[in-house]
Amino acid sequence: MNVDGMIMAPLQVHNPTEYSQEDPGIMVNALPIFHVSSIRKICKLGSGSHSDVHLVSTQSRQQLALKCLNQTTVLNQELSADLTSDLIMEAQILASLDHENIIKIRVVCCDPIETGTAGSGYFFLMDVLSDSLVERVQRWSKDESCYNGIRSSILGNRLRKLNTKKMISRMETVAIGVAKGMAYLHKKGVVLQDLKPANIGFDMHTGEARIFDFGMARHALDLSMNKPAEICGTLRYMAPEVMKGETPTKASDVYSFGCVLYTLCSLMVPFHNFAAKESELGEFKVKVIAGERPSLKCISCLLVRSLIQDCWAHDPLDRPTFNEIVEERFPDIRKGFHSNDKQKKSFKRIDSGSLNDSIHVSFRSDSGFTISTKSWV
């Protein structure tokens, strides 16, 4: 990809053992570099605790996402130095990855993004995504609530089967891609540490799910040699052993994936009654560490329930690997659902498009009625 102003040094794939957290600068020279004058800010896409993501345009009008430390962090010299190292490490890890379900880094820059900014101006550019899984879950939930409210008195059990079909479709379009990306990541020896819907987006052109925030990602070898000084991640999606202060592992990512899968299937965040207030954090951790998990009663497919339960098993050794999930568990779920669907023949035809498209549902002729909804939102 040619972007104006870049020095197009080739991306190099490095062995993770070649560098550690103590020396994050080793791989900087392996990344493409360009100058800040080559881009123009358009708008802010999002913010984290210490960083911002902006939509920017190059001189050739190509749009990319720029990640940099926020102004408050940059002005704190000590904090800025530490977090710049983290940002460099994130860029290094991304530069070593090449998978359709993982965001692609394009270039890095060491110039201040704003003229006159104090401290480090290190930032990098990556692909722009269309939206996040959080936004899609909200839309799906709204759509399903409307549909259930309108049709529940008429459809009964058939509605539940239709919802199961939609759930399987969400798994096929989102969960499988995320699992493939995570399997690749683990093969490269990287632990993500913060897998959640807010860190999953969708490619602008292909629609493929992509994991995009690697701010907490570390190589497993580095984690085993250098235990994190503090607990990192998002509590709702955090494995119990990490809550206890143990070193995050690949199995910890699998636990988080189980929580993401729960959200995809139920269209609710895990532990939705947990308000995330400071006063409740201790009690919440105690419950999760003791083995409490969200109820799976709303998920009718037993194979899906079983997978989620295995992913968030209390003992990390009891959790499946992402390779097992991709190669064995998902194919079994797909096969089981479609086989059961054909045997029961509960539906003669289901033809549903996107959220705002026309929806037509026709049941077997011996059921005595047919519903055709041509326009609704």
Cβ atoms within 10 Å of 346's Cβ, excluding its own: 17
Q: Is 196 annotated as a binding residue?
A: no
Distance between CA atoms of residues 163 and 148, nearest Å: 9
Residue with tokens 């339960």: 309
Q: At what angle do helices 157-170 and 330-344 cross, to 10 degrees?
A: 150
**Single-letter residue type at 221:** L
By DSSP bridging, strand 359-363 and strand 371-373 are antiparallel
Task: Give 84's contacts (C-beta < 8 A, 6+ positions apart).
Answer: 69, 120, 122
80 backbone dihedrals φ, ψ, rounded to 5° = -60, -40
Please report which residue ranges of 66-155 form alpha helices under DSSP H. 71-75, 77-95, 133-155
By DSSP bridging, strand 129-132 and strand 51-58 are unpaired
Chain-centroid distance of CA 149 in Å reads 30
Q: Report which DSSP code applies to 48.
A: -
Which DSSP string do the residues of 1-25 spell out, in sequence order?
---TTEE-PPP----GGG--TT-TT
Whole-number CA gyration radius for the chain: 23
Distance between CA atoms of residues 259 and 245, nearest Å: 20
Which DSSP string do the residues of 264-291 spell out, in sequence order?
HHHSS-TTTT----GGGHHHHHHHHHTT
By DSSP bridging, strand 200-203 and strand 209-211 are antiparallel
Beta strands in the chain (DSSP E): 6-7, 33-34, 39-47, 51-58, 63-69, 105-109, 123-126, 129-132, 190-191, 200-203, 209-211, 218-219, 347-352, 359-363, 371-373
- Residues annotated within a binding site: 67
- Residues annotated within a binding site for ATP: 67
